[in-house]
Structure 1
Amino acid sequence: MRILVFANTPAHVHLYRHAVSRLEEAGHEVLVLTREYACTTDLLEFFGLPYRRYGAHDTAASSKVRLAREFAGQAGRIAAEATRFRPDVVFGRGPYAALAGTITRSPVVLVLDDEPGDFNHTVSRPFATCILSPAVTRRDLGDDHYTFDGFKECAYLHPAVFEPDRAVRDYLGVGSDERYALVRFNALDALHDAGLEGFGRRQRRDLIERLSRHATVFVSDEGGGMDLAELPARPYDLHPALIHDAMAEAALLVADTGTMINEAALLGTPALRFRGTDDHEYGEFAELERVGLAEQFDEYAAVRERAIELLTDESADDRWQRRRREYVGDLVDLTDLLVDVAEAKGSLEAVDRSTRRALRPRSAST
Structure 2
Amino acid sequence: MRILIFANTPAHVHLYRHAVDRLEEAGHDVLVLTREYACTTELLEFFGLPYRPYGEHDVAATSKLAIGRELGGQLGTIVRETVRFRPDVVFGRGPYAALAGTVSRAPTVLVLDDEPGEFNHTASRPFADCILSPRVTRRELGADHYTFDGFKECAYLHPAVFDVDGAVREYLGVDPDEPYALVRFNALDALHDAGLEGFTGRQRRDLIERLSDRVTVFVSDEGNEMDLRELPARPYDLHPALIHDAMAEASLLLADTGTMVTEAGLLGTPALRYRGTDDHEYGEFRELERVGLAEQFDSYEAVRDRALELLADDSADERWQRRRRTYVGDLVNLTELLVEVAEASGDLEALDRSSRAALRPASATRSPDTSG
TM-score (norm 2): 0.98
Cross-structure match for 1:60: 60
Cross-structure match for 2:14: 14
Cross-structure match for 2:272: 272
Cross-structure match for 1:123: 123
Aligned positions, number? 366
- The letter for the 1-side match of 2:204 is R
Q: Does 1:247 align with 2:247?
A: yes
Counterpart Cα distance in 2 of 1:118 and 1:60: 22
SS at match of 1:178: coil
Cross-structure match for 2:341: 341
User: Contact 1:135–1:148 (CA<8 Å) still a contact in 2?
Assistant: yes
- The letter for the 2-side match of 1:186 is N
Cross-structure match for 1:223: 223
SS at match of 1:289: helix
Q: Does 1:168 align with 2:168?
A: yes
Deviation at 1:264, TM superposition (A): 0.1
- The letter for the 2-side match of 1:57 is H
Q: How does 1:1-366 map to 2 (within 5 A)?
A: 1-366=1-366
Deviation at 1:60, TM superposition (A): 1.3
SS at match of 1:52: strand
SS at match of 2:166: coil
Provide, for residues 220-274 of structure 1, a one-character-per-residue CA deviation record: whole Å limited to 9, x for no partner.
0000010000000000000000000000000000000000000000000000000
Moved more, 57-66 or 128-137: 57-66
RMSD over equivalenced CA pairs, Å: 0.4
- The letter for the 2-side match of 1:223 is G
Counterpart Cα distance in 1 of 2:86 and 2:188: 35
Deviation at 1:302, TM superposition (A): 0.3
- The letter for the 1-side match of 2:106 is S
Counterpart Cα distance in 2 of 1:295 and 1:81: 42
- The letter for the 2-side match of 1:193 is D
SS at match of 1:349: helix
Counterpart Cα distance in 2 of 1:194 and 1:352: 41
Deviation at 1:364, TM superposition (A): 1.1
Moved more, 57-66 or 143-152: 57-66
Deviation at 1:65, TM superposition (A): 1.4
SS at match of 1:296: strand
Deviation at 1:101, TM superposition (A): 0.4
Q: Which 5+ residue runs of structure 2 have no aligned equivalent?
A: 367-372
User: Contact 1:168–1:242 (CA<8 Å) still a contact in 2?
Assistant: yes
Counterpart Cα distance in 2 of 1:290 and 1:362: 21
Moved more, 275-284 or 65-74: 65-74
Provide, for residues 70-122 of structure 1, a one-character-per-residue CA deviation record: whole Å limited to 9, x for no partner.
11101110000000000000000000000000000010000000000000000
SS at match of 2:257: coil
User: Contact 1:166–1:249 (CA<8 Å) still a contact in 2?
Assistant: no
Counterpart Cα distance in 2 of 1:264 and 1:159: 13
Deviation at 1:30, TM superposition (A): 0.0
Deviation at 1:353, TM superposition (A): 1.1
SS at match of 2:60: coil
Deviation at 1:45, TM superposition (A): 0.2
Counterpart Cα distance in 2 of 1:188 and 1:307: 22
SS at match of 1:62: coil
Provide, for residues 13-54 of structure 1, a one-character-per-residue CA deviation record: whole Å limited to 9, x for no partner.
000000000000000000000000000000000000000001
SS at match of 2:350: coil
- The letter for the 2-side match of 1:235 is P
Counterpart Cα distance in 2 of 1:131 and 1:63: 28
Counterpart Cα distance in 2 of 1:68 and 1:2: 29
SS at match of 2:181: strand
Counterpart Cα distance in 1 of 2:11 and 2:181: 21
Deviation at 1:166, TM superposition (A): 2.1
Counterpart Cα distance in 2 of 1:57 and 1:186: 16
- The letter for the 1-side match of 2:159 is P
Q: Which 5+ residue runs of structure 1 have no aligned equivalent?
A: none
Deviation at 1:342, TM superposition (A): 0.1
Moved more, 90-99 or 65-74: 65-74
Cross-structure match for 2:369: none
